[in-house]
Amino acid sequence: MFMERSAAGLQAHELVLSNLSPSVAQRRFALGVVLVLLVVFVIVAGPLSGLPLRRVDAFIPAYGTAIFVIDSITAALLFAQFSVLRSYALLALANGYFLTALIAIPWTLTFPGVLAPEGGLGGGLQSTVWLYVLSHVGFALFAIVYTLLKDADPMEWLSPRSIRARVLTTVGSVTALVCCATVFVTAGHALLPRIMLDTAEVSYLWYYAVGPMAGLFVVALVLLWLRHRSVLDLWLMLVLFAYIIEIALTAFPIPYRFSVGWYAGRVYGVLSGSLVLLILMKEVTMLYGELLRAVLAQRREREVRLLTGDAVAATVAHEIKQPLSAMTMEASASLRWLDRATPNIDEAKVALQQIVNNGHRVGAVIENIRTLFKTEARTRTSLDVNNLIREALALVRDDLRRHRVAVQTDYNQSLPPIEGNEVQLQQVLVNLITNAIDSMSTEDGDRVLSLRSKVYDSGSLMVSVEDVGKGVEPSAIDLIFKPQFTTKVHGMGMGLSICRSIIEAHGGRLWVTANLPRGAIFHFTLPAHREH
Amino acid sequence: MPTETLISIIDDDEDFREAVARLMKSWGFTVEAFASELAFLSSPNVRNTSCLIVDLHYPQMTGIELHRRLVESGYAIPTILISAHLDDSVRARALADGIICYLTKPCDEDALLGCISSALERAKPDEYRS
């Protein structure tokens, strides 16, 4: 199961925030936030609008700093996403946040009362408000550019250097724009339309600015609504919505600085900045967790594979060495018989026949290992474990009869299906059954093989192969699963270490316990197949 | 070639032990093969075997264990170990324990014959003693 997921499933685009599609829960949460924003707006614009509030001098620098920090971090994260994804849409959005972060500096410094009573940096009453307009119009335009570009797939290959160049060029342009704008609105403040009547009073002209600004955001929001797909789109829509309310609050119900609506507007401003940041941070952390899990799963899978390789190599070496040794000795023996003064043809023939038999045995070993590990052996299907047991029993029917072994079966009929490779699991069962038969064939008394299937826990099932043979010595319980462990080889057999590797590669466990008063029970678990 | 010398073989692999037995027989030895240590220990061969050839059974190494137990019980049968794995430390340990030879599968005919000769050399004083 995890094999397929980690091998084929680890595609970069699935793990990038701007490509993840939002879940139902995320959509509901976003809708909830929209409702809260609306309710707060109605309360602020309605019942609370008359609430007299004082001007708090510390508020402006604190607010400006917050916006600067939040938007810079958001921009940095988005630039990082751009460098991974090479999407120009993300580059535009990152620059949008960079613009608002940067403008927060002159906005704060030119705000009347912060550095100078009528505005710092040599500006006047009109400087701050026009910076505000620039920041909002700029962000809305960048959001529109993001929306228009996001479905285009540029994705052309870019070298790290050209990515850096693009980031630096755009950042430089935005910085230059903000610098020019700041110089223009401060040095040329007298030329600007007079929106501010004094440090707090706003003129009717403001409505002419608010209308198009809000309209721009509405356009951005509608465009994004029509094209939204990803988690990032969802939260960006929320941000645009918060911006619209923020802009509305500067003019409605009363266009006056330091009113309830104005303070609430600032809060919406911080919110719209931090929403995307919070979501980015949360999603990045979660994705990191996912990635970590996938990497760990992949590493485990590789270890299991290595183990399998080890076990296969050891088993092949051992299983081939046995018949090979026998063959060389039989050959030497037959030579001896033939070399005698009176050659003993009969003895030589027996030895030669044994060479033939052992040659077939080597062939069978190789054929077995090949069947077990050829490429098709990796394909997995949904399997019924009870069927697997029945088929395995059918395969060893002759062996059972020859050794006069009685079979008892106890199937749980309501087992969940499992996902696995039929050939490999079949081999595990055949191997365990053959071992059980062998261990009983040297013992006196009844020979009973019991096979059981049952539900192990909520997510897995267990199969037990029980014999009344010579059992496993307590000291050997761990040793028998080692690749080097000497096993008896009979055509189908292939060693407990490979059995264990196969079961572990299927996400299960294989172990042995004593069967009292005599014999051994081999158990293995397999995870139930979950529908994706 | 000695003819009245009894050699015992213990190996759980039927093909292998039969091959060793047949080879010994072609050399003129009297051979008996056993599938397990238990079968060997419960046979009269324990008393009159001149040379024992036993599978090491890596990694449990029951071959060395068996030799030690036999020595402790007063049956210092010259023993040859045959293993599917070459492990120098195990080999050193086995030789220190008084094992005559440590051979790896597939083993060379001459080497095996040489080991058997040394084993039988070793066995002779015992025969005089008994």
Identify the CA nearest to A467 among candidates A400, A415, A401: A400
Provide the pLDDT for residue A16.
Answer: 61
Helix (H) or strand (E) holding B61: none
Domain boundaries, chain B: 6-129
Peptide bond into A212 cis (omega under 30): no
Assess whether pLDDT exceeds 70 at residue B80. yes
Say if residues A447 and A403 touch (Cβ distance below 8 Å): yes
Minimal-distance CA residue of chain A relative to B36: A442
Minimal-distance CA residue of chain B relative to A474: B60
pLDDT in tens, B95-128: 888 899 999 888 888 899 999 999 988 876 544 4
Q: Which residues of A touch B18 (CB under 8 A)?
A: 326, 354
Closest partner CB to B16 (pick from A325, A337, A476): A325
The SS3 of residue A201 is: strand
Q: CB B18 to CB A326 under 8 A?
A: yes
Q: What single-letter amino acid sits at B100?
A: I
Q: CB B15 to CB A326 under 8 A?
A: yes
Closest partner CB to B26 (pick from A328, A336, A482): A336
The SS3 of residue A150 is: coil
Q: Is B111 on the interface with A (CB under 8 A)?
A: no
Give the gap in angstroms from C-alpha A327 to the nearest C-alpha of chain B.
7
d(CA B121, CA B128): 12
d(CA A44, CA A41): 5
Q: CB B22 to CB A350 under 8 A?
A: yes
Minimal-distance CA residue of chain B relative to A481: B59
- DSSP characters over A391-440: HHHHHTHHHHHHTT-EEEEE--TTPPPEEE-HHHHHHHHHHHHHHHHHHH
Q: CB A328 to CB B109 under 8 A?
A: yes
Closest partner CB to A482 (pick from B59, B84, B109): B59
Closest partner CB to A321 (pick from B27, B84, B109): B84
d(CA A132, CA A452): 75
Identify the CA nearest to A154 among candidates A220, A91, A229: A91
- Which of A325, A338, A489 best tests the B interface by mutation, with the highest count of B CBs <10 A? A325
Closest partner CB to A486 (pick from B18, B26, B58): B58
Q: Which residues of A touch B23 (CB under 8 A)?
A: 329-330, 332-333, 336
Provide the pLDDT for residue A375.
Answer: 59
Give the gap in angstroms from C-alpha B99 to the nearest C-alpha of chain A.
20
Q: Is A486 on the interface with B (CB under 8 A)?
A: yes
Residue A375 structure tokens: 């490429």
Q: CB B23 to CB A479 under 8 A?
A: no
Which fold, A380-532? Heat Shock Protein 90 (3.30.565)
d(CA A299, CA A498): 19
Rounded mean pLDDT for each run of 10 residues along chain A, 532 residues in total: 36 59 85 90 81 82 93 92 84 94 93 80 83 94 92 69 90 95 88 82 85 94 90 89 89 79 85 81 80 78 64 74 90 92 92 92 79 67 91 88 90 89 87 87 83 89 91 75 53 65 84 87 89 54
Provide the pLDDT for residue A221.
Answer: 95
Assess whether pLDDT exceeds 50 at residue B2. no
Residue A73 structure tokens: 């971090």
Q: CB A475 to CB B19 under 8 A?
A: no
Q: Is A365 on the interface with B (CB under 8 A)?
A: no
Say if residues A322 and B14 touch (Cβ distance below 8 Å): no
Q: Is B9 on the interface with A (CB under 8 A)?
A: no
> Candidates 1.10.3720.10, 3.40.1160.10, 3.40.50.2300, 3.40.1210.10; correct CATH number of B6-129?
3.40.50.2300
Provide the pLDDT for residue B54.
Answer: 92
In the 3-class helix/strand/coil scheme, how is B2-60 assigned residue by residue?
CCCCEEEEECCCHHHHHHHHHHHHHHCCEEEEECCHHHHHCCCHHHHCCEEEEECCCCC
Q: Which residues of A touch B105 (CB under 8 A)?
A: 321-322, 324-325
Domain boundaries, chain A: 11-45+53-294, 315-373, 380-532
Minimal-distance CA residue of chain A relative to B27: A336
Q: Which residues of B touch A495 (CB under 8 A)?
A: none
Which fold, A11-45+53-294? Rhopdopsin 7-helix transmembrane proteins (1.20.1070)
> Which residue in this structure is represented by tokens 């299906």?
A417
Q: Is A152 on the interface with B (CB under 8 A)?
A: no
pLDDT band at B4 (very low <50, low <70, confident <90, very high): low
Provide the pLDDT for residue A448.
Answer: 92
Provide the pLDDT for residue A157.
Answer: 67
d(CA B84, CA B102): 11
Interface confidence, given as ipTM, is: 0.83
Q: Is B41 on the interface with A (CB under 8 A)?
A: no
Q: Is A338 on the interface with B (CB under 8 A)?
A: no
Closest partner CB to B15 (pick from A334, A361, A479): A361
Q: Is B121 on the interface with A (CB under 8 A)?
A: no
β-bridge mates for residue A463, sequence order: A453, A524
Q: Which residues of A touch B36 (CB under 8 A)?
A: 442
Closest partner CB to A326 (pick from B16, B25, B60): B16
Q: Is A485 on the interface with B (CB under 8 A)?
A: yes
Provide the pLDDT for residue A97.
Answer: 95
Q: Which residues of A491-515 are buried (b: 16+ CB within 10 A; e: fewer)?
A: ebbbbbbbbbbbbbbbbbebebeeb
Provide the pLDDT for residue A1.
Answer: 33
